[in-house]
Structure 1
Amino acid sequence: MSATRLLVLGVVRGYGRAHGYRIGTDLLAWEADRWANVKWGSIYHALAALTRSGSLLDHVGVRGRTEYELTERGEAEFSRLLRTALRVPDRHTDQLGAALAFLPSLPRGEAIALLHERLASCEEAERSAIERRDGWDWPPHVRELFGLWAGDATGGAEWARGLIGRLESGEYAMDGEPGSPGPPGSWPKLVEERADAGE
């Protein structure tokens, strides 16, 4: 799964319609180049691939800039990538980082349920890695690999429990709640409201 695809779809979804430069400046402002290895080239590659696959529609906008808009297929792909990244642990954190950027796109109950699935997977991975480490004979140094996997799974489970607890206690404005980023296409309104409030 590509974190870049999820991030690009999410930004286009947030604005309703956006050109490549706006998408790129947003993602680089979030430092996605550091935690998701997003580069200008990968953004434009993702835009082209998502347009070819029917997830995005391209329009020639003001001053000849190409603007992109999510299709139904793109909404379904965004939803799939977001839910998978939250639910399925991966040793690469870029997908999870991309999913967390759009966490408020989900209703609170669904986000909690997906994180419970993630937690169960982490706990099973921890149990399996410890069992393999403790039962490994030769070569003995390979036990360290299983120990590393167990440590990763333990940390992932602890983090998931913490986020579940924060969501259950009402932290973060989620989809459908006051103060959430809102439905697709609502980001320009949110930007204007913040500018009017002097933020």
Structure 2
Amino acid sequence: MSATRLLVLGVVRGYGRVHGYRVGADLLSWGAGEWANVKWGSIYHALRQATRAGLLRVHDDVPGRTDYELTERGLAEFRRLLRDALRQPQPRPDLIGAALALLPALPRPEALALLQERLAALEQRREKAQAQLDGWTDPPHVRELFGLWEAGAAAGIEWTRGLIERLTDGAYPMAGEPGSPGRPGSWNVP
């Protein structure tokens, strides 16, 4: 799964119809260059790939400018990528970062359910790492790897529980709620 693809589809969805420069400017202003390794080239590559895959529709009615709009297939792909990124813990933080950047696209109950799935997966990961840590004998230094995995899962559990609590308490306007940026085409072009 590609964090860049998720982010690009999410920004296009947010605006409804937008040119590539705006997609890139938004992503880079969010710091995605650092936490998701998004670069100008990868943004335009993702736009071209998504267009070829039928996820985006191209509009070139303004000379020298190409605008993009999600197709129905693109919307379905965006939703799938967002849900998977939220529910499935990954070793790299770019996918959860992308999911968090686009979190308001989900209704609150769905986001909470997906985070519960993430929490269960992290708890299983922590238990497995702890069992490996407890049972490992030779070579002894490899235990550090299992300790790292256990500590990472434990931190993920703590953070996920906190986010679940914040969302349960009403933090952040989510899709379908007043003030939410989660409706397709609801972002204002500056």
Same fold by TM-score greater than 0.5:
yes
Query: Which residue pairs with 1:195 in the alignment?
Result: none
Query: Kindly tell me: are residues 56 and 141 of structure 1, through their superposed partners in 2, closer, same or farther at Cα, counting changes over 3 Å?
Result: same
Looking at structure 1, the residues matched to 93 and 62 of structure 2 have their Cα atoms a distance apart, in angstroms, of 37
In the alignment of these two chains, the number of paired residues is 190
**Secondary structure, counterpart of 1:187 in structure 2:** coil
Q: C-alpha separation between the residues in 1 aligned to 2:155 and 2:183?
A: 33
Query: Is it true that 1:55 corresponds to 2:93 in the alignment?
Result: no
State how far apart, in whole Å, the 2-side matches of 1:179 and 1:59 are. Answer: 29
Determine helix, strand or coil for the equivalent of 1:68.
strand
Q: Tell me the C-alpha RMSD between the 2 structures.
A: 1.0
- Aligned-pair distance for 1:83? 0.3
Shift of 1:155: 0.3
Q: Which runs of 5+ in 2 are unaligned?
A: none
1:166 aligns with 2:166: yes
- 1:103: which partner in 2? 103
Deviation of 1:142 after TM superposition, in Å, equals 0.3
Residue 121 of structure 1 corresponds to 121
Deviation of 1:62 (Å)? 2.0
Which deviates more, 60-69 or 6-15? Answer: 60-69
User: Percent sequence identity over matched residues?
Assistant: 67
What amino acid maps onto 1:19 in structure 2?
Answer: H
Question: Which residue does the alignment assign to 1:27?
Answer: 27
Unaligned runs of 5+ in 1: 193-199
Answer whether contact 2:106 2:182 (CA < 8 A) is retained. Answer: no
Structure-2 separation of matches of 1:99 and 1:68: 21
1:172-183 matched pairs, under 5 angstroms: 172-183=172-183
Scaled by the length of structure 1, the TM-score of the pair is 0.93
Aligned residue in 2 for 1:7: 7
TM-score, normalization by structure 2: 0.98
* 1:77 matched to 2:90: no
- Which digits, 9 at most, give the CA deviation of each residue in 1:147-175, with x for residues without a partner? 00000000000000000000011111011
SS in 2 for 1:43: helix
